[in-house]
């Protein structure tokens, strides 16, 4: 009787295999243990030996084609046997799995339908207001309900903040914008909801909102049927693996062909080391086995054991405990991972480095802070210098928009601020026109809001260039990933006291290293170098910042 041959799972991470080469063709006789094909997995190219016998009646995938695990790749049987029913039958379960969902959908629809004459029910029909998860930032895709301020049955006013929502950047309030009774809460505290998903319903007390929530049963039935389809292959493929592991626990793991060769050559398989997955012995392991190596190894074993024992006797034993903590990824970290991955793998980055003599900047800052209403930091001086330099080099103050490049005439400088959960980049707008004291006060205010999670979308949107400073942590030099859609980012290191050469003599100096990360789609090497040259001149002669 004909039997199907399926794509085996040859590694723990394998989801599909590529037929690298067929060693048999249709019409060939196949014995148990014969090498039928070579299969390229996600880790290696491995031999596929048959566990069945018969004539090869059918080959599905061609060489070079990928096939999912458990899919039919061949059929074995008696010569001339009709196998087409097997191929049709393989597709039948999927078709049958779809039938219940088609039959169940009308039943569910009939059971859950409560609107007159089967019409769709809207919020207006019931006189209620549906509150959905709002889009609270430009990068938000879902929000987590941090806290509900009301419970079902409570009276709500239009300006009430019914819940606190944790976005990817801050925890913000959701306002009801409706009056009435809280009839329904769709998401519990601590759970996430996608943007525009229903999170609550407000309306007249006693209103039945069930028809509104259940008006799309067809979609639910479709989801259920898809879940059934997804579960079926897992159950099917689990059985063979369980059978294999059960039968192989009590004997040496070896392929039929390897056993046959070992028997002919009189080789004890317990002495052969398997190279296949799980230590399984295959044909090449038996053929490459050298029996003479076994006695030598056995003879040297006592000596090695004694030597090992002598070495370990004098060593103290230390018993440790492996421990770890896992925490769910919060919304901010999810967005940081997604945005920075998109930037790094989409924008072709290159970096330019320059050293700045900070002697004059140190002296200028000391004089400024004697009269300034707010203490000015070196980072404030860098932000101001960057804004002025961008005015002279608009190509660096640009963004890639796919089919066009935007050259920004305004200078909105994003300032990277580290917080407990990640990184936020509030924006100092029109920085070129603001005084150092103004910039300093604004950055300090942003830092306080960021740590308290009080920043609003208007605070972090619209940057044209970003400054990231790790100098306060003693980092000498580093590179940053561009904050998309900006065309460049400046990494600022610490001011170091090192020997420098001035007027032919080695003297103490204060040097700060800058690294400019550029998107090569909008900024060329020479353009970035000219920008750094201008920036270097401004920082080494900071009096020009006040002109």
Give the residue numbers annotated as catalytic, written as ranges. 520, 524
Contact 180, 156 (CB under 8 A): yes
Could you please report the per-residue DSSP string of 501-536?
EETTEEEEEEEEEEEEEEETTT--HHHHHHHHHHHH
CA angle 242, 248, 252 (to 5 degrees): 160
- Residue matched to tokens 């609003």: 456
Q: Order of strands, edge to edge, in the sheet holding 180-185?
A: 129-132, 198-203, 180-185, 155-156
Contact 473, 416 (CB under 8 A): no
For 64: left if phi > 0, alpha if psi spans -120 to 50, otherwise beta; the answer is: left
- Residue matched to tokens 């199907």: 4
Q: Provide the token pair at 108.
A: 């569910």
Could you please report the per-residue DSSP string of 431-451?
GGGS-HHHHHHHHHHHHHHHH
Q: How many of the other CB atoms lie within 10 Å of CB of 101?
A: 19
C-alpha closest to that of 429 among 472, 406, 458, 393 = 458
Is beta strand 488-502 parallel, antiparallel or unpaired with respect to 465-469? parallel
Q: Distance of CA 76 to CAs 22, 53, 57, 82, 239, Å?
A: 15, 7, 6, 11, 21
Q: How many of the other CB atoms lie within 10 Å of CB of 195?
A: 14
C-alpha closest to that of 283 among 5, 12, 38, 7 = 38
Q: CA-based diameter of the chain, in Å? A: 100
DSSP 472: G
Helix 378-392 to helix 359-371 angle (10° resolution) is: 110
Three-state SS string over 105-138 comes to HHHHHHHHCCCHHHCCCCHHHHCCEEEECCCCCC
Rounded-to-integer distance, Cα 188 and Cα 201, Å: 14
DSSP 299: H
Cα atoms in the 13 Å half-sphere on the side-chain side of 300: 4
Rounded-to-integer distance, Cα 288 and Cα 291, Å: 10
Q: Is 43 helix (H, G, I), strand (E, B) or coil?
A: coil
Q: How many of the other CB atoms lie within 10 Å of CB of 11?
A: 13
Contact 262, 272 (CB under 8 A): yes
Q: How many of the other CB atoms lie within 10 Å of CB of 87?
A: 14
């Amino acid at each position: 009787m004909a039997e199907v041959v399926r794509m085996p799972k040859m590694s723990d991470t394998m989801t599909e295999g590529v037929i690298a080469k067929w060693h048999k063709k249709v019409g060939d006789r196949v014995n148990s243990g014969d090498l039928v094909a070579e299969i390229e997995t996600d880790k290696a190219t491995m031999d596929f030996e048959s566990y069945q016998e018969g004539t090869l009646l059918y080959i599905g995938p061609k060489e070079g084609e990928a096939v999912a695990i458990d899919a039919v790749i061949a059929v074995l049987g008696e010569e001339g046997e009709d196998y087409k029913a097997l191929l049709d039958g393989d597709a039948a379960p999927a078709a049958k799995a779809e039938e219940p969902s088609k039959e169940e959908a009308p039943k569910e629809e009939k059971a859950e339908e409560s609107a007159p004459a089967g019409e769709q029910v809207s919020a207006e029909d019931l006189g209620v207001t549906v509150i959905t998860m709002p889009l609270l930032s430009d990068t938000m895709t879902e929000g987590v309900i941090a806290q509900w301020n009301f419970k079902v049955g409570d009276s709500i006013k239009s300006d009430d903040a019914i819940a606190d929502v944790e976005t990817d950047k801050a925890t913000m309030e959701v306002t009801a914008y409706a009056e009435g009774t809280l009839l329904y809460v769709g998401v519990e505290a601590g759970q996430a909801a996608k943007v525009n998903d229903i999170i609550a319903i407000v309306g007249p007390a006693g209103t039945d909102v069930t028809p509104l929530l259940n008006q799309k049963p067809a979609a639910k039935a479709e989801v259920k049927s898809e879940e059934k389809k997804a579960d079926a292959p897992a159950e099917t493929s689990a059985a063979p693996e369980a059978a294999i592991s059960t039968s192989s626990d009590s004997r040496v793991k070896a392929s039929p062909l390897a056993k046959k060769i070992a028997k002919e050559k009189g080789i004890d398989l317990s002495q052969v080391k398997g190279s296949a997955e799980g230590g399984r012995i295959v044909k090449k392991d038996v053929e490459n086995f050298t029996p003479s190596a076994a006695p030598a190894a056995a003879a040297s074993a006592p000596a090695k054991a004694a030597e090992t024992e002598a070495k370990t006797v004098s060593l103290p034993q230390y018993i440790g405990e492996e421990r770890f903590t896992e925490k769910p990824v919060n919304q901010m970290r999810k967005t940081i991972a997604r945005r920075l991955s998109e930037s790094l793998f989409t924008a072709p980055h290159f970096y330019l480095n320059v050293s700045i003599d900070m002697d004059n900047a140190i002296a200028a800052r000391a004089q400024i802070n004697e009269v300034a209403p707010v203490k000015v930091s070196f980072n404030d001086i860098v932000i101001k210098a960057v804004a002025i330099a961008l005015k002279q080099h608009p190509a660096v103050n640009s963004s890639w928009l796919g089919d066009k490049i935007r050259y920004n005439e305004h200078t909105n400088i994003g300032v990277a601020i580290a917080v407990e959960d990640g990184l936020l980049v509030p924006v100092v707008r029109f920085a070129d026109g603001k005084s150092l004291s103004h910039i300093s006060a604004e950055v300090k205010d942003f830092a306080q809001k960021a740590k308290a999670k009080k920043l609003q979308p208007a605070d972090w949107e619209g940057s044209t260039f970003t400054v990231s400073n790790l100098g306060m942590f003693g980092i000498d030099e580093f590179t940053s990933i561009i904050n998309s859609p900006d065309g460049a980012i400046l990494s600022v290191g610490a001011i170091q006291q090192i020997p420098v050469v001035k007027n032919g003599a080695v003297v103490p100096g204060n040097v700060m290293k800058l690294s400019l990360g550029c998107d090569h789609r909008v900024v060329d090497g020479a353009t970035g170098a000219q920008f750094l040259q201008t920036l270097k001149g401004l920082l080494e002669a900071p009096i020009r910042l006040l002109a």
